[in-house]
Amino acid sequence: MILWYNFHIKTKMNDSMISDSIWKMSDYLSRYYGKKAIIMEFKVISPKKEKSLEETAQNALKQIKERYKIMEQQQPEKKHKRRVRYKGTHPRRFEEKYKELNPEKYGDTIQKVISKGSTPAGMHISICVKEILDFLQIQPGQRGLDATLGYGGHTLEMLKCLKGEGHLYALDVDTVESAKTKERLQKLGYGEEILTIKNINFRDIDKVCKEAGKFDFVLADLGVSSMQIDNPERGFTYKKEGPLDLRLNQKKGVSAAERLKEVTMEELEGMFVENADEPYAHEIAEKIFAKLRRGEAIDTTTKLQQIIEEALKFIPEKERKEAVKKSCQRTFQALRIDVNSEFEVLYEFMEKLPNVLKEGGRIAILTFHSGEDRIVKRAFKELKRAGVYSDIANDVIRPSAEECNYNSRAKSTKMRWAIKA
């Protein structure tokens, strides 16, 4: 409904009075008609032709429509965004795998990829889910913590166990992936009333505990998520060209490429040994520093991979390919651990862990290499002897052979657990 009002503004009225009058009129109209009121000002251009306020308004509206039509015609035509094209019958590069990157839309493709023992691009298949849930024994109404949210697979299964009662907190420093995970879980019906996601490092569990209270159960999956490894832009793998970054949070700290410029050759060699038990640490560190001294930039994943290959040329040809592959895995692991201070973070987490658990609270931890496992094993044993934990895992729990067949990334996984006294 359009109503026409003709009124004059007195010359003695200041801007504040005029504004207040117009606001009051809008409020009165809205309350009277039960609809939003819009007040528009029209100037009479031709008093002789426009005999009434209604004619003035109609002319003004006509001008608005004509102007809008001209603007529409001047707008550049929106081009349909085509998906990335690829050569051959199957996509090879990460960005080309549009079906795998849209699991909700292409569920059949996802199942085919998984059935072949591969992980779909942009996804992560959670490991030891059954073993974790069997141990944690989650009950509705409990309060829990997923210290490493990632893709949210473990988080989702723990939320299901709560059956809408209780609360789960989840932590992750990766702001990019955690935002995607939050959106996926919200679409499944898990909002802020039962799930709180925080972009903080799990070394700060004491801060979360101050806000949330002590936890009935805690899970920490210390592995890097598959979607981080598979995305070449993150620089986690030697298999694909990308920036040599390796940071879990790309907004903080220095990249692996910058880190190589900071350390001495002795420090780098020690890093490779301590973080990854690299048998050719000296040869690889020496070759890296020879390149840096000549002013060569080592700023991509493939450049580092090529340097490692050059450093191991002395290995017999039959054995070289496998040796280079394993040394690349260990070297990238060592650098990733260093730039993210992973061991320091884990030591701090293990120290604070007992103080955030309720009496009888349960903790399950997944490790993926010997350095992590040693830290977890030692902490559990020492605190068990001190009476902090009433029970701990005497032997590691490993994924089943069946799980390793359909998820090859599960093979190196070890699960350890403890119960708070």
CA angle 115, 121, 125 (to 5 degrees): 55
* 221/358 same-domain check: yes
Asked if the model's pLDDT at residue 50 lies above 90, the reply is no
- Does residue 350 form part of some domain? yes
- Residue 71 pLDDT level (bands cut at 50, 70, 90): confident
- Does residue 204 form part of some domain? yes
* 277/222 same-domain check: no
Distance between alpha carbon 24 and the CA centroid of its chain, in Å?
Answer: 49
- Residue 100 pLDDT level (bands cut at 50, 70, 90): very low
Mean pLDDT over residues 13-35, rounded?
68
* 178/324 same-domain check: no
* 149/201 same-domain check: yes
Per-chain mean pLDDT for the chain: 82
CATH code for the domain in which residue 282 is found: 1.10.150
CATH code for the domain in which residue 385 is found: 3.40.50.150
Express as a percent the part of the chain with pLDDT over 90: 52
Which domain covers residue 281, as residue numbers? 249-339
Asked if the model's pLDDT at residue 153 lies above 70, the reply is yes
pLDDT, one tens digit per residue, over 209-220 is: 999 999 999 999
- Residue 113 pLDDT level (bands cut at 50, 70, 90): low
- Does residue 236 form part of some domain? no
- Residue 143 pLDDT level (bands cut at 50, 70, 90): very high
Of 126, 251, 258, give the one whose Cα is nearest residue 176. Answer: 251
* 220/275 same-domain check: no
Q: Which of 88-97, 147-156, 349-358 is the most confident on average?
A: 349-358
| Window from 56-70, 95-109, 277-291 with minimum mean pLDDT | 95-109
- Residue 75 pLDDT level (bands cut at 50, 70, 90): low
- Cα separation, 240 vs 254, in Å, equals 21
Number of domains composing the chain: 4
Residue 78: the pLDDT is 53
Task: Give the C-alpha distances (Å, rounded to integers) separating 28 from 14, 23, 266.
Answer: 21, 9, 79
Distance between alpha carbon 288 and the CA centroid of its chain, in Å?
Answer: 31
- Does residue 3 form part of some domain? no
Q: Which of 69-73, 99-103, 249-253, 413-417 is the most confident on average?
A: 413-417
pLDDT, one tens digit per residue, over 338-397 is: 999 999 999 999 999 999 999 999 999 999 888 899 999 999 999 999 999 999 999 999
- Residue 62 pLDDT level (bands cut at 50, 70, 90): confident
- Residue 120 pLDDT level (bands cut at 50, 70, 90): low
* 405/347 same-domain check: yes
Asked if the model's pLDDT at residue 236 lies above 70, the reply is yes
Mean pLDDT over residues 312-337, rounded?
93
Task: Give the C-alpha distances (Å, rounded to integers) separating 115 from 219, 334, 343, 408.
Answer: 27, 31, 34, 11
* 255/313 same-domain check: yes
Residue 366: the pLDDT is 94
Asked if the model's pLDDT at residue 107 lies above 60, the reply is no
Q: Strand locations in 79-181, DSSP E?
A: 143-146, 167-171
- Does residue 79 form part of some domain? no
Residue 266: the pLDDT is 94
* 208/355 same-domain check: yes
* 136/212 same-domain check: yes
* 192/281 same-domain check: no
Instruction: Give one DSSP letter per residue of 114-136, joined into a string.
Output: HHTT-PPTT----SSHHHHHHHH
- Residue 94 pLDDT level (bands cut at 50, 70, 90): very low
Of 45, 39, 28, give the one whose Cα is nearest residue 6. Answer: 39
* 136/109 same-domain check: no
- Does residue 2 form part of some domain? no
CA angle 337, 388, 142 (to 5 degrees): 80
Residue 97: the pLDDT is 47
Residue 65: the pLDDT is 78
> Which of 279, 306, 339 is a domain's end point?
339
Mean pLDDT over residues 305-324, rounded?
94
Task: Give the C-alpha distances (Å, rounded to integers) separating 418 from 143, 212, 369.
Answer: 17, 21, 19
Q: What is the pTM of this model?
A: 0.68
- Does residue 314 form part of some domain? yes
* 268/328 same-domain check: yes
- Does residue 4 form part of some domain? no
**Token digits of residue 339:** 């730039």
- Residue 407 pLDDT level (bands cut at 50, 70, 90): confident
- Residue 63 pLDDT level (bands cut at 50, 70, 90): confident
Asked if the model's pLDDT at residue 193 lies above 70, the reply is yes
**Token digits of residue 333:** 């692991």
